[in-house]
Amino acid sequence: MNVSWPSVHPVAVAPLPALEGAIAVPRIRMKDMQGMPATVGGLCLRISQFAFAVMSLSVMAATNDFPSVTAFVYLVAAMGIQSLWSLSLAVVDVYALLVRRSLQNAAVITFFTIGDGITSTVTFAAACASAGITILISNDFNKCAENHCTRFETATAMAFVSWFAASPSFLFNYWSLASR
Amino acid sequence: MNVSWPSVHPVAVAPLPALEGAIAVPRIRMKDMQGMPATVGGLCLRISQFAFAVMSLSVMAATNDFPSVTAFVYLVAAMGIQSLWSLSLAVVDVYALLVRRSLQNAAVITFFTIGDGITSTVTFAAACASAGITILISNDFNKCAENHCTRFETATAMAFVSWFAASPSFLFNYWSLASR
């Protein structure tokens, strides 16, 4: 708590003295667990979401036959959404850390929670759909010779890692929304 | 709170007279939103999770060629887990409603939240994987003539509906865990 207390104040009355110095005092930071917005942990989560989403997108987009499977096209689209969202929130986190500003505001947290919920669901759906197809090609059909199985598997794994980093962000934001 | 109050107590103290009838009074229920455990809304969610999971399982298991695709086998397994979990919690809800007992206990809510989180994730993963395969068969390969596309689609849709009923249970439980 960065509240500065005045050095002199009345003795008898309960004076609420803290508010008199409120102009110079920086904003009060509520309980910021690591992993929440505007913490170093939160920034690390955002950066890893972004990095793995971009890796998944690049690996999948580098195969020449991904547009023939709907699930792979959906994976590319979902990774695009996830990387854009994570990059934006990483920038917000960097700004908040630099100016030492808390993002514990009901509207902001609600927006982050809904956005994180949607993007992480979309990412997980894309990863699961791609995993289903990849396993179908490699294990059930045994057609890895004529398909880019390794690339599909890599892209799918990166998508799962991106989701793994995205879901804590959602859970932290939802927790802080509920516990305020 | 099962605290028994002594029948004789000093007069000067604030006597909390309402508690003298505490034997006949039902247990105090904390803020129970509809949809939480031990509410009618929560019971409805559990029953719909169970019903749609069983429907999805039956429709998929009724096709003769589902074991050739890993994702469909996984769907059957996931729907089995989801239906067992939802049925158990529906029974707990019915019991809690009948004896008018609140389930707002930290350990109980934590257990429900973790269980709901795992089962709803598994259900959603199975639904997405099946959806990926179903779309691959029907749209990308156009092989509905030799496959049970309609049954696969029905089973996938039922799985999604079951997840749709399971995720509010998780969100409600997690919310009540965070806000206690």
Tokens of B158: 């039922």
- Summarize pLDDT for B53-80 with one digit per residue, the tens: 999 999 999 998 899 999 999 999 999 9
Could A128 and B125 be called an inter-chain contact, meaning their C-beta atoms sit closer than 8 Å? Answer: yes
Q: What is the ipTM of this complex?
A: 0.80
- The candidate with the shortest Cα–Cα distance to A78, out of A110, A54, A43, is A54
Give me the number of domains chain A comprises. 1
In a domain, B25, yes or no: no
What is the average pLDDT value for chain B, to the nearest integer? 85
- Summarize pLDDT for A141-179 with one digit per residue, the tens: 888 888 889 999 999 999 999 999 999 999 999 999 988
Report pLDDT for B21.
Answer: 46
Question: To which residue do tokens 């919310």 refer?
Answer: B175
Question: To which residue do tokens 């749609």 refer?
Answer: B52
In a domain, B107, yes or no: yes
- Please report the residues numbered 92 through 111 in chain A whose beta carbons come closer than 8 angstroms to any beta carbon of chain B: none
- Summarize pLDDT for A17-27 with one digit per residue, the tens: 444 444 444 44
Chain B positions in Cβ-Cβ contact with residue A139 (cut-off 8 Å) = 70
Tokens of A63: 């195969």
Question: What number is the average pLDDT over the span B22-48?
Answer: 74
H runs (alpha helix) in chain B: 40-62, 70-98, 106-135, 149-178
- Which 8-state DSSP code applies to residue A56? H
Range of the domain at B91: 40-179
Q: Which of B70, B131, B139 sits opposite A136 (nearest CB)?
A: B70
Confidence band, pLDDT 50/70/90 cuts, at residue B14: low
By percentage, how much of chain A surpasses pLDDT 70? 82
- What is the rounded distance in angstroms from the CA atom of residue A165 to the CA atom of residue A154? 17
Q: Judge whether residue A30 has pLDDT over 80.
A: no
pTM given for the model: 0.81
In a domain, B168, yes or no: yes
- What is the rounded distance in angstroms from the CA atom of residue B155 to the CA atom of residue B61? 9
Question: To which residue do tokens 């749709």 refer?
Answer: B164
Q: Enumerate the β-bridge partners of residue B36.
A: B34
In a domain, A66, yes or no: yes
Using the Cβ of B31 and the Cβ atoms of chain A, whether some distance falls under 8 Å is answered with no
Tokens of A101: 């500003």
In a domain, B105, yes or no: yes
Report pLDDT for B4.
Answer: 53
Per mean pLDDT, which range of A15-19, A44-48, A98-102, B129-133 is the poorest?
A: A15-19
Report pLDDT for A21.
Answer: 45
Report pLDDT for B123.
Answer: 97
- Summarize pLDDT for B151-178 with one digit per residue, the tens: 999 999 999 999 999 999 999 999 999 8
In a domain, B75, yes or no: yes
Confidence band, pLDDT 50/70/90 cuts, at residue A7: low
Question: What number is the average pLDDT over the span B42-54?
Answer: 96
From A25's Cα to the closest Cα of chain B, the distance in A is 29
- Please report the residues numbered 137 through 156 in chain B whose beta carbons come closer than 8 angstroms to any beta carbon of chain A: 139-140
- What is the rounded distance in angstroms from the CA atom of residue A70 to the CA atom of residue B132? 8
DSSP string, B132-144: HHHHIIIIIS---
Q: Enumerate the β-bridge partners of residue B34.
A: B36
From A68's Cα to the closest Cα of chain B, the distance in A is 7
- What is the rounded distance in angstroms from the CA atom of residue B96 to the CA atom of residue B99? 5
- What is the rounded distance in angstroms from the CA atom of residue A50 to the CA atom of residue A79? 9
In a domain, B23, yes or no: no
In a domain, B109, yes or no: yes
- The answer to whether A48 and A67 are in contact (CB under 8 A) is no
